[in-house]
Chains A and B, each alone.
Chain A
Amino acid sequence: MADTMQFDLVSPERKLVSVPVREVRLPGNDGDLTAMPGHAPAIVTLRPGMVVLLGTDGAQQEFAVTGGFAEINADSVSLLAERGHPREEVTQEVFDEMMHDAHRAHRSAQDRREHVGEEVVTAAVKLLGDMQALGSHIGLDPNSATVPD
């Protein structure tokens, strides 16, 4: 069995990363998981968090994603994310923008509570929490983003 798998990080606008890796650590919605070559085929939704790649040379690469989903096969992982940034590129500014989006989603879910149901509001609260955790993990201030009215 091959000891590497193909990893693709795809955003709606373009392919961001395409490299062979030894393992991929994913922030799954129901908990983190690691995909290694020979993994059973699965489709997993992701929460905002860090995706960690272990390259063929043993070097680690980290990417921040704001959710999405991953398609795992025995020899490949395709991650479809609306936003994905290498860790180094996530500056306070970029992060503030992501936080702003999360706040906005949270606000609009709350405003339309009776239309969309309690679950959506809970999901938005969780999203906001995950985003804050992501910020703290990278060492950025989650409270500096402007909160929309």
Chain B
Amino acid sequence: MPSLKDLKNRIGSVKNTRKITKAMQMVAAAKLRRAQEAAEAARPYADRMAAVMSGLTANAADQAGAPRLLAGTGSDQRHLLVVMTAERGLAGGFNSSIVKLARQHADRLRAEGKDVAILTVGKKGREQLKRDYGSLFVHHVDLSEVKRIGYDNARAIAEELLARFDADEFDVATIFFNRFQSVIAQVPTARQVIPAEVPEEATAANALYEYEPGEEELLAELLPRSVATQIFAALLENAASEQGARMTAMDNATRSAGDMIDRLTTEYNRSRQAAITKELIEIISGAEAL
């Protein structure tokens, strides 16, 4: 049985832990709000881009001579998985859930006899994948110095992807990230960015537009931008999800610490009472013996 002093020390240390997790939860809540605002602010651009792209791709997809970014290389042998995770841990299952989804994909593709390469964004995913897939890594993007995700970060990643695509290193690129559903729910998502996916329902209104220059030139210019926009959207979703996951995880940790303190305090009081009772019995029986 632990001594009274041990119990007291443990209560003190759990109290300190609770202070830290509480602080982290509040910081995550503040950052979450900022991340959500950023995601919200980026929506008009992404929506317009998607609307224009859907009209253009629907027209161009069936035609011969469509850009490679849309039509693909004609093969789906070589896959590039872009795994986007956080730079920091202590965010519940945030990083593991993305890694798990990427792992499933990689294993399935390899079982089908495809070639898989992995590009990681964020330190945590790289660490988790290193042991099993280290030989497949082709590149890593470090965002640990980045305080606030900007479009430039997304553009740099997109440029890296496009350069590798131009150099004929892969046929299909898929990004992995956590879609932000709510503070307690983040959905790990895989989305194919190269070649671009053609939306199912094309909006008929787009057929009315006059394109200047021609549709093909426009498409050739917009496709790379659309890749960057999708990556940017994914990065923002990821940032919001990370803070949401961290907030939930830290809330749970704070609550568990509280429960633990209650339990330890009860135990402490019982032992103290037992010690007092024991001393009293000793005094009384000592007096009786005289």
Q: Please give the residue numbers on chain A whose beta carbons come within 8 Å of chain B beta carbons, in ascending order.
A: 8, 10-15, 28-30, 40-45, 69, 71, 78, 80, 82, 108, 112, 115-116
B42 touches A12 (CB 8 A): yes
B52 touches A11 (CB 8 A): no
Least Cβ–Cβ distance between B38 and chain A, in angstroms: 7
**B286, CB-defined interface residue at 8 Å:** no
Contacts of B20 in A (CB 8 A): none
A41 touches B42 (CB 8 A): no
Closest to A83 in B: B151
Residue from the list A13, A40, A41, A80 in contact with B49, Cβ < 8 A: A80
A-B contact count (CB 8 A): 70
Which 7 pairs show the lowest CB-CB distances between chains A and B?
A14-B41, A12-B151, A42-B210, A10-B45, A44-B212, A12-B45, A41-B209
**B44, CB-defined interface residue at 8 Å:** yes
Closest to A40 in B: B210
Q: Mark B147-190, 1 if CB is under 8 A from A, else 0.
A: 00011001100000001001100000000000000000000000
**B232, CB-defined interface residue at 8 Å:** yes
Least Cβ–Cβ distance between A80 and chain B, in angstroms: 6
B232 touches A12 (CB 8 A): yes
**B218, CB-defined interface residue at 8 Å:** yes
Contacts of B210 in A (CB 8 A): 40-43
A13 to B52, CA, bound (A): 18
A12 to B41, CA, bound (A): 8
Contacts of A43 in B (CB 8 A): 52, 209-212, 218
Residue from the list A12, A13, A15, A45 in contact with B221, Cβ < 8 A: A45
Other A-B pairs, 20, CB within 8 Å; known A29-B212, A71-B48, A112-B166: A12-B45, A12-B151, A12-B154, A12-B229, A13-B41, A13-B42, A13-B150, A29-B213, A40-B210, A41-B209, A42-B209, A43-B210, A43-B212, A45-B217, A69-B218, A80-B48, A82-B151, A82-B225, A112-B163, A116-B166
**B4, CB-defined interface residue at 8 Å:** no
**B109, CB-defined interface residue at 8 Å:** no
**B264, CB-defined interface residue at 8 Å:** no
Contacts of B151 in A (CB 8 A): 11-13, 82
Contacts of A78 in B (CB 8 A): 48
B221 touches A69 (CB 8 A): yes
Contacts of A15 in B (CB 8 A): 41, 44
**B222, CB-defined interface residue at 8 Å:** yes
> Restricting to B45-78, which residues have a CB under 8 Å from any CB of A?
45-46, 48-49, 52
A42 to B211, CA, bound (A): 6
Least Cβ–Cβ distance between A129 and chain B, in angstroms: 17
Closest to B207 in A: A41
**B138, CB-defined interface residue at 8 Å:** no
> Known: A42-B211, A43-B211, A115-B167. Is A71-B52 also a contact (CB below 8 A)?
yes
Contacts of A8 in B (CB 8 A): 44
Q: Mark B29-45, 1 if CB is under 8 A from A, else 0.
A: 00000000010011011
> Known: A69-B222, A82-B151, A115-B166. Is A10-B48 also a contact (CB below 8 A)?
yes
Contacts of B221 in A (CB 8 A): 45, 69
> Restricting to B180-238, which residues have a CB under 8 Å from any CB of A?
208-213, 217-218, 221-222, 225, 228-229, 232
Least Cβ–Cβ distance between A53 and chain B, in angstroms: 18
Contacts of B209 in A (CB 8 A): 41-43, 71
A69 to B218, CA, bound (A): 9
Contacts of B167 in A (CB 8 A): 112, 115
Closest to A67 in B: B221
Q: List 26 A-B contacts (CB under 8 A).
A: A8-B44, A12-B45, A12-B46, A12-B151, A12-B229, A13-B42, A13-B45, A13-B151, A14-B42, A15-B41, A29-B213, A41-B209, A42-B209, A43-B52, A43-B209, A43-B212, A44-B212, A45-B212, A45-B218, A69-B52, A69-B221, A71-B48, A71-B52, A71-B209, A80-B49, A108-B163
Contacts of B213 in A (CB 8 A): 29-30, 45
Least Cβ–Cβ distance between B80 and chain A, in angstroms: 17
Least Cβ–Cβ distance between A12 and chain B, in angstroms: 4
